[in-house]
Amino acid sequence: MTNQRPSSTKVVEEPFKHVIDEYKHKLQRVTCTCGWQGSSASPDGVSSEWKAHHVANRPPGSSKR
């Protein structure tokens, strides 16, 4: 995370995003920027705790129907 903002570009208010803040590769452990922690291990290659969290918290309007 960085607190620096370029002053020459206009500031855009972005919706809060759930993104990986820290990823422990060995443990396949993800820390989200919201504080959520879970596994990114994907036994079936499709779903994982992290993916479920990310999808569940995705901002409105970002999903296509």
Q: Which among 2, 47, 44, 41 has a CA at the least distance from the CA of 23?
A: 41
Stretch that binds Zn ion, among 8-16, 17-25, 39-47 (CB under 5 A): 17-25
Burial class (CB in 10 A: 0-12, 13-18, 19+), 18: middle
Among 17, 20, 24, 34, binds Zn ion (CB under 5 A): 34
Q: How far is the CB of 35 from Zn ion (least distance, A)?
A: 7
Among 36, 37, 38, 49, binds Zn ion (CB under 5 A): 36
User: Binding of Zn ion at residue 29 (CB under 5 A)?
Assistant: no
DSSP state of 43: T
